[in-house]
Chain A
């Protein structure tokens, strides 16, 4: 039996898919400091205009430039695998497929957007791109893309990550990027933080401030900022994953996918594989589409979608979000939200519409699933990807219990070869699980039951 499905370079999709064109209800817009919807001109100091146009576009299909395709050919199309050994180990009638995005030079799906972002910046006249990174997945992907396009790349890496992840730092340097521990003395934001606390381990918030400042204060005007998730244009670029998967499944005669699964942090890898299938669902297909989050942050799965306040003085416009509540409820309930979760607005809206069904998985189950996957399929997945593996195994077991030959597709968003510290903590018993009691959730929800809800955000079809 063939366990991999390839597409030739000629068969690779030539267009990205923009879900914003098909979402049945309008997205609630982000608002600027003046309370009005953000306009393209406000973003011009930060992003090149060609990417801003993509960010606000409602065109359904956007052509992938030939030069971008030429670079993506270095590892794309990525193989679609049939997880035969995993199926056998589980004794399931389900057919499990996965897109193997770990084959990219950076080891994850991130270059799918790093490459086009670098290309569009170069077309615009940008000479240098700045960004921030934690563990380095995004920073290394951007460094790789900039190397291929002859752009300078400056990555502000959170200090604690800079110290913990020397190999990711070295990857960036190998690709010619300058990787700086943040906070640094290169920006006012960094200097101010260091003046207060010279030994600070840093944070993503500081690193973002440094990266944006470095871009907008470049006197040449030829620096721009890039980020690896959340924004519409990033998810647009990632849809190459799902579009390829559809072609590959068609190639082997798979007419219907029952479940599509991916882990969801900022949402780029989930959006990438899922959005082409969300389109099918909007058009009437019966598919379960599952973004998976850690159970330690169950904001998608246990939160209601309400308007919540943007500041204590209640002066800023109410922000539509998934939230467990603005009020601080007695432990262990908290007031997290999708804004905390930081998930892409397109995914948030898809959840509101019922087009996608979030699921939370505990970390122990994630690592157990990742081990089973490694011992059957061979690939050691990234800790985030393990959430998708865990949900896939849940679905496969459910199919076994039901005796159903379900077709399950998940996105293997990255390998975990550089992230084995998490596996070490699992092996040495340092990880814990705790289930948030439903009674506590109901108590938290009662705290927000009077919060106003968005009026027109949902069609009610799904």
Chain B
């Protein structure tokens, strides 16, 4: 990846349609089928963090990511998430900061 990251960023907008958009897969987090379009929509500027985990067997999703996202975005995407309790405390911290600023 470090070699490819030196080669440059995405070649297209991250929200543009793809041929795989309609393909279904059982979402382990939600517990029901979803399409690739849902997985790539994610939240914020990144797709679902499991997009590679779930789709790498179906098509070249890694290449899809390289074509749509910068190396920094991909690094953020693949970054291991914090454990559940830490995530919850991060949310509490963000809520308190918003209220203090509010």
Contact with A along B66-98 (1 / 0, CB 8 A): 000001101110111111111111111111101
* Distance between B91 CB and nearest chain A CB, rounded to angstroms: 4
In the assembled complex, which residues on chain A have CB atoms less than 8 Å from the CB atom of B24? 425, 430-431
Q: What number of A residues sit within 8 Å (CB to CB) of B?
A: 83
Answer whether A227 and B84 are a contact pair too, CB < 8 Å, given A200-B41, A297-B53.
Answer: yes
Question: A30-38, A72-80, A275-283, A397-405: which lies at the B interface?
Answer: A30-38
Is A296's CB under 8 angstroms from B54's CB?
A: yes
In Å, the complex CA distance between A42 and B96 comes to 13
A332-B62, A334-B52 as given contacts; A339 in contact with B72, CB under 8 Å? no
Chain B residues touching A, majority SS: helix
Q: Indicate if the CB atoms of B62 and A334 lie closer than 8 Å.
A: yes
Chain A 208-226, CB within 8 Å of chain B: the 1/0 string?
1100110011000000010
Q: A residues 414-462 with Cβ under 8 Å of B?
A: 419, 421-422, 425, 430-436
Binding site for A on B (CB under 8 A): 1-2, 4, 23-34, 38, 41-43, 48-50, 52-58, 60-63, 71-72, 74-76, 78-96, 98-99
Task: Report Cα–Cα, A384/B26, bound state, in Å.
Answer: 9
Given the complex, which residues of A lie within 8 Å of B57, measured CB to CB? 295-296, 332, 432-436
Contacts of B96 in A (CB 8 A): 216
Contacts across chains A and B counted by CB atoms under 8 Å: 190
Q: Point out the residue from A135, A205, A216, A432 that lies within 8 Å of B92, measured CB to CB.
A: A216
| Cα distance A225–B63 in the bound complex, in angstroms | 39
Knowing A201-B41, A321-B80, A419-B32 are in contact, say whether A30-B86 is a contact too (CB < 8 A).
yes
The listed residue with most B CB atoms (<10 A of its CB), out of A160, A164, A308, A329, is A160
CB closest residue in chain B, given A316? B82
Q: Which residues of B contact A308 (CB under 8 A)?
A: 80
The 9 closest A-B pairs by CB, nearest first: A134-B30, A328-B1, A334-B52, A135-B31, A434-B57, A331-B62, A332-B56, A336-B53, A335-B78
